[in-house]
Structure 1
Amino acid sequence: MPIRIESIALIILVVLVLLLIVSNIVIVQQSKAYVVERLGAFRTVWSVGLHFKLPFIERIAKRVSLKEQVADFAPQPVITKDNVTMQIDTVIYFQITDSKLYTYGVERPMNAIENLTATTLRNIIGDMELDQSLTSRDIINTRMRAILDEATDPWGIKVNRVELKNILPPKEIQNAMEKQMKAERERREAILQAEGQKQSQILVAEGDKQSAILRADAAKQAAILHAEGEAEAILKVQQATADALRLLNESSPNDQVIKLRALETMVKVADGKATKIIIPSEIQGLAGLAASAKALLESGESAK
């Protein structure tokens, strides 16, 4: 059975309608917003989710990113209060908070922000001298952020942060600053070197001091030990003398024994280097008695 032309046309029409419907189904991703117009007039802003656009009647006028964005602008020439021309480039961190105002509030928003940034920077730097502008980055950043945030609010833009990336003064001033910084570095290095030498000398002196203290302590301990040894030797000699006297007293010696002991002592004294020895009379008599006894004993032995 042949297929009629009407059926084919109907099938083609259904397919085209389905393609048209599918092509007008729009899915808005996270951190995105779509500005929709109907017949050339603003209709609504689509947020995250599934949406359907009426074909031939509605259109997506602008797709807007709601993420924080960064704009790095080229260096701008600015003149300080003391007539010094510098080159300053800025970085702006901003975020779109109102997609409708961003779409219809200003033509080419990024060019508008760049021009506004350059004008604001010139006005702020123009009220400062060179030294103040080089040392007041935080102040300049804060003032620029406040001015730009207020100015871009009708455009649906919020300026979160402004940073001066580079401040480039004229070449002659740069050379002078480099020389100054080099001199400052050399001064700091000299201070650090002198401080290191000072600490080294202090450590050496401290080491010598500790060494002297240790040597003195060692000599002191040696002297103490030597004195203790001599004292101990004297004590032992005295103890031996006392013991001898005690034993002598215990044995109850008579005068003759005592005199003989004294004679033995004198003999030991005579063994020394003395050239003259004075002998008491009692010991001299005892010595003569001992010599006579010795002669008698020897003559008796020869007679036998």
Structure 2
Amino acid sequence: MSTKTVLITGTSSGIGLATAIAAARSGWHVIATMRDTTRADALLATARAAGVSVEVRSLDVTDPVSVAACIDGLTDLHALVNNAGTGHVGTLEQESIEDVRAVMEVNFFGVLHVTKAALPLLRASKGRLVTVTSIGGVVGQPFSEAYCAAKFAVEGFMESLAPVASTTGVSVSVVEPGAVASEFSGNVGGRDTLVNGAGPYAPALAAYQDRAPKAFPTAQTPQDAAERIVALLESDEPAFRVQTSDAAHEFTAVKLADGDGSSVQAMTGAWVA
């Protein structure tokens, strides 16, 4: 294919890093963004080892000024992958509303800031808008209230935006990873610290935390998840909803009868056709 440009957020590690490399290998010009570009060493080293190059830019998804500085100078953009996010473990009685709001700021409003800035360019290219959510955006999970609320919000927003964006030639998709072996899972605090601060919820939180290691021996690699994302970017008919592993598909299927989102999109798309 001719060279196309994709902007990917949250590329310092995990799925974002792997997606940047996979997209570059597939021939995309990759603008790999992260809040702190001093953390780009792992990405750049991986790119060199893979024999590809990526363009690193600073982008704080929660800061409209940073978003504008990153995107306003672009003349071409064919795809956006909203990947930046933060994990969170906690329950409402034990945390402040400000704690919950901070999670929403990164995982929900951060997606909106970047998407809003990118949409004019995506309209011009009839491009792809892909947002990495989570199986936690489909099934609410214990002690993940704020995180799941943010991911539910992203899924609802994108499901509503998709038929509208499609009238201008922009395809919208959400990607739902399950357990992924990456640094992301380690960014939510240590088990003992969390349990010790959980008060009356300590036994339940301990049980929840003890379950997590049982899931991660079968966690997929960031590279595997990235391959699903790049395949979605290059699909002639991208689905609205994609799970990145069989385990994620089985988990979300407990709740989703419309597994790939096609039935909802066909119904709501007719409302604006």
TM-score (norm: length of structure 1) = 0.21
Q: Which has the larger radius of gyration?
A: 1
Bigger relative contact order (CA 8 A; separation at least 6): 2
Larger relative strand fraction: 1
TM-score (norm: length of structure 2) = 0.22
